[in-house]
């Protein structure tokens, strides 16, 4: 099979011919049809220390099951979306429905070979069937982006009648966060730069382009929830925009630098700060259902498999809207 191999940190993506892997017990061989390119791929490629090289990068994928090992929970011919990791199903976290914290978690492209290849082997627990009316490209990044947002919505209890603020609203996380908030019945406020306002307005009920956005949110009636997709630069305004008892979901930013928090503000308003790591299997099932029902329209652009090295290298300066997906 053809696969992009990375032999070491920052080394070139080599399109190589490697032996097609066989699925062991409980595993499935998936013919990859579409794979999303994520900033995490860029970080893993350029310096994430814990990547096991050589590797095939890519943790966002959808395809067709080609072959299964003994006891697998999927069948050849199934259209499936992958979670971004494999989990053991036996540790305390897996048993309590928090497999995103699994003690034995293996992330595709980092701990095990990923999806920038014609085939990927995955534990069948990490594969979810795709509804008939959902295409492979839309399903490919459902795990990394949408299931994580579904988890954010559940953790913060987003529901009808609420006002939800999304920072970084034009980004890959933000543009889908607006849609998830609305899918759960809330009104969505997008915080973005003036030049992105028109695009964000297609998905939000309100758009605010001021850096000190809290005052304008208050005029709309205070926020019940903030989906904080930026981090340090916006979180102070996010806390001010919240009503007492409000909740902030921290998502999509793993900047290792310390971030200032005005603790008094959090205490006086009893703000709940809820970090969200990744979606669980049930969150992915829910995300695919929301796409199938038309409540979320995944935003992406399609590219050729051969464009992958260029797209990955250009990640830091990318000005694209939504996800970049390669067809394989």
Q: Which residues bind Zn ion (CB under 5 A)?
A: 38, 40, 60, 87-88, 91, 94, 102, 144
Would you say 122 or 163 has its CB closer to Zn ion? 122
Handedness of CA 177, 179, 182, 187 (dihedral sign): positive
DSSP percent split of the chain into helix, strand, coil, nearest 5: 30, 25, 40
Per the document, the length of the chain is: 328
Tell me the closest approach of the beta carbon of residue 60 to Zn ion, in angstroms. Answer: 5
Minimum distance between the CB of residue 325 and Zn ion, rounded to whole angstroms? 11
Cβ closest to Zn ion, residue 41 vs residue 228: 41
Distances (CA, A) of 176 to 37, 66, 142, 237, 296: 16, 31, 10, 21, 8
* Beta pairing class for 127-129 and 79-82: antiparallel
Give the burial class of 47: count Cβ atoms within 10 A of its Cβ; 0-12 exposed, 13-18 middle, 19 or more buried.
exposed
Q: Which is nearer to Zn ion, 141 or 213 (CB)?
A: 141
CB of 268 to Zn ion, least distance (A): 36
Residue nearest to Zn ion (CB): 38
- Residue 45 and residue 55: Cα distance in Å, rounded? 10
User: Closest distance between Zn ion and the C-beta of residue 117, in Å?
Assistant: 16
> Closest separation between CB of residue 104 and Zn ion, Å?
5
Return the closest-CA partner of residue 192 out of 171, 168, 213.
168
CB closer to Zn ion out of 33 and 323: 323
Give the shortest CB-172-to-Zn ion separation in angstroms.
Answer: 9
* Of 115 and 217, CB closest to Zn ion: 115
| Of the candidates 67, 112, 64, 56, the residue with the CA atom closest to the CA atom of residue 85 | 112
- In the structure encoding, which two tokens stand for residue 71, read together? 């006891």
Of 94 and 117, the one with the shorter C-beta distance to Zn ion is 94
CB atoms within 10 A of CB 302: 11
């Amino acid at each position: 099979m053809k696969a992009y191999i990375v032999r070491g940190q920052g080394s070139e993506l080599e399109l190589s011919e490697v032996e097609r892997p066989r699925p062991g017990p409980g595993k499935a061989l998936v013919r990859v049809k579409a794979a999303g390119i994520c900033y995490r791929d860029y970080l893993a490629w350029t310096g994430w220390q814990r990547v096991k090289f050589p590797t095939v990068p890519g943790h966002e994928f959808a395809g067709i099951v080609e072959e299964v090992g003994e006891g697998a929970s999927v069948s050849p011919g199934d259209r499936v979306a992958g979670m971004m990791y494999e989990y053991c199903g036996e540790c305390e976290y897996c048993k309590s429905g928090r497999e995103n914290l699994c003690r034995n978690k293996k992330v595709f492209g980092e701990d095990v070979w990923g999806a920038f290849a014609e085939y990927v082997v995955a534990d069948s627990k990490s594969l979810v069937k795709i509804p008939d009316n959902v295409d492979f490209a839309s399903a490919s990044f459902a795990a990394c982006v949408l299931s994580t947002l579904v988890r954010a919505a559940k953790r913060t209890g987003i529901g009808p009648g609420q006002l939800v603020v999304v920072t970084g609203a034009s980004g890959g996380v933000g543009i889908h966060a607006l849609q998830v908030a609305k899918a759960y019945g809330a009104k969505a406020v997008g915080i973005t730069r003036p030049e992105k306002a028109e695009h964000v307005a297609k998905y939000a009920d309100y758009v605010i382009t001021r850096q000190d956005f809290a005052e304008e949110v208050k005029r709309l009636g205070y926020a019940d929830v903030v989906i904080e997709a930026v981090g340090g630069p916006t979180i102070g305004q996010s806390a001010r925009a919240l009503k007492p008892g409000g909740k902030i979901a921290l998502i999509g930013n793993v900047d290792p630098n310390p971030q200032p928090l005005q603790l008094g503000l959090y205490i006086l308003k009893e703000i709940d700060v809820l970090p969200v790591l990744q979606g669980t299997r049930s969150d992915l099932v829910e995300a695919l259902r929301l796409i199938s029902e038309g409540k979320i329209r995944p935003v992406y652009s399609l590219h050729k498999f051969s464009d992958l090295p260029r797209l990955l290298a250009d990640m830091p300066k990318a000005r694209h809207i939504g996800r970049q997906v390669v067809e394989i």
